[in-house]
Structure 1
Amino acid sequence: MERKDILLVEDDDMMAALLGHWLEKEGYAVTTLKNGLQVKEALCESLPDLIISDIMMPYYSGIELVDHIRNELKLELPVILISAASNDENVMNAFELGANDFISKPISPHELLVRVARTLKTMKA
């Protein structure tokens, strides 16, 4: 199985380290960034297989990133959004703009890994 590249966008260092650890332990190559501006710059350099992004972060929110990826870059790059603010409006906005999945914090390692694998499998099909 080829190693999948995941771009993890999380401004909380502890959360980023925890999520990164779970993903790397599962065999994914993880690059961690702290804000939406860094993501926009990174996407000009190379494309990951999947982006996991917090919604609430500096410069550009996760929802604004999905909008940028779908409507400006015109990419089908899979995006999973995560947030502690899992109100209906955030969830609906995420899906309407083209997010592939949404996970509410606190996140269980098993749920994260299952959703990542499912999203990657769906995009491959």
Structure 2
Amino acid sequence: MKIILAEDNDLLRKSLSFFLESKGFEVNQFADGREALEAIKNNDCDIILTDINMPGISGMEMTQYVRITLGRQTPIIIFTSSGIEQTELDAFDIGANDFMAKPISPSVLLVRINKLLKENNR
């Protein structure tokens, strides 16, 4: 299973990538939203994990592009350090499948990824 991981926090990105790879996932990681979006446009992936605030292009803009321009239903989980409820509601409105507040628990993330992948393969 291929994951696109877009997170500008180096420590979080690398630790999540290491954890997910140890669980058998192939992770392509990006610190820049625009680079992540280029990878999404040019490659198939099974799930997208993105921080909401990214350099280049935000996680929200990335989600909108995937849903509207590419017309893909690839599961998307958005991360944020913002505890603002409206941000979470906006993420769901534009097509995000899930939303996680930082700090991210790798074990909880894994459960959510597996749930979305199972739902997407029905």
- Tell me the TM-score normalised to structure 1 length: 0.93
The CA deviation string for residues 82-121 of structure 1, in whole angstroms up to 9 with x for no partner, is 1111311110111000001011101112111100100111
Unaligned runs of 5+ in 1: none
Please identify runs of 4+ aligned residues in structure 1 that moved more than 2 A.
none
Corresponding residue for residue 84 of structure 1: 81
Unaligned runs of 5+ in 2: none
Query: 41, 45, 54: which is aligned to 1:44?
Result: 41
Query: In 1, Cα distance between the equivalents of 2:16 and 2:64?
Result: 24
Following superposition, the deviation at residue 40 of structure 1 comes to: 2.1
SS at match of 1:8: strand
Contact 2:79 2:100 in 1 (8 A): yes
Contact 2:78 2:100 in 1 (8 A): yes
- Tell me the TM-score normalised to structure 2 length: 0.96
Aligned-residue identity in percent: 36
RMSD: 0.9
Query: In 1, Cα distance between the equivalents of 2:4 and 2:111?
Result: 17
Query: 13, 18, 31: which is aligned to 1:16?
Result: 13
Please tell me whether residue 117 in structure 1 is matched to residue 120 in structure 2.
no
